[in-house]
Amino acid sequence: NTVSCTDGWEYSRKEIITTVVTEWDLVCDRKVLPEASQMIFNFGVMFGAILFGFLSDKYGRKKIFIGSLLGQAVVGSFTALSPNFYLFAVLRFFVGAFEQGVNITGFIMATELFPPKQRSVAAVTHEFFWAIGGAGIPLFAFIFMRWHAIQLAVSMP
């Protein structure tokens, strides 16, 4: 059995770690919103995979790759400045879309540099660096401890 959240939720004022959940009080009747933001991000990923794959074939991979990198840096940085959850969720959609503009076009550009027999090694190497980047995010979280700073740290480079 579960008990509804009748008295709300209290956070320690001494905490130096801030999260999206603690900042916008996404608990109790709002506990579905963090999962909703992840779903919105994934819809952005799906939209970006369709859009940027087509655009990179039509206008060139390098243009779309650079544009997506810039778009991801700008939108990701604005995400860190979101004054409310709803703007945060909308911006996460665009971060997901631009992520695919970077990922898909970067993957294709990296593998096209090699002859067909060596492309599988290039593809694995490309994904290896993506995995290292993902594994490094906990380090950013340990260093910065505030979701705003973490978001800027991963968006700006």
Q: What is the pTM of this model?
A: 0.82
- Is residue 87's pLDDT more than 60? yes
pLDDT in tens, 29-83: 788 898 999 999 999 999 999 999 999 999 999 999 999 999 999 999 999 999 9
Q: Please indicate, yes or no, if residue 67 is contained in any of the structural domains.
A: yes
In a domain, 63, yes or no: yes
Domain interval for residue 119: 31-155
3-state SS string for the chain: CCCCCCCCCCCCCCCCCECHHHHCCCCHHHCCHHHHHHHHHHHHHHHHHHHHHHHHHHHCHHHHHHHHHHHHHHHHHHHHCCCCHHHHHHHHHHHHHHHHHHHHHHHHHHHHCCCHHHHHHHHHHHHHHHHHHHHHHHHHHHHHCEHHHHHHHHHCC
Number of domains in the chain: 1
Does 134 map to a domain? yes
21 in any annotated domain = no
Q: Is 107 within a domain? A: yes
Which tokens sit at 127?
């994904």
Q: Kindly state whether residue 3 falls inside one of the protein's structural domains.
A: no
**20 in a domain, yes or no?**
no
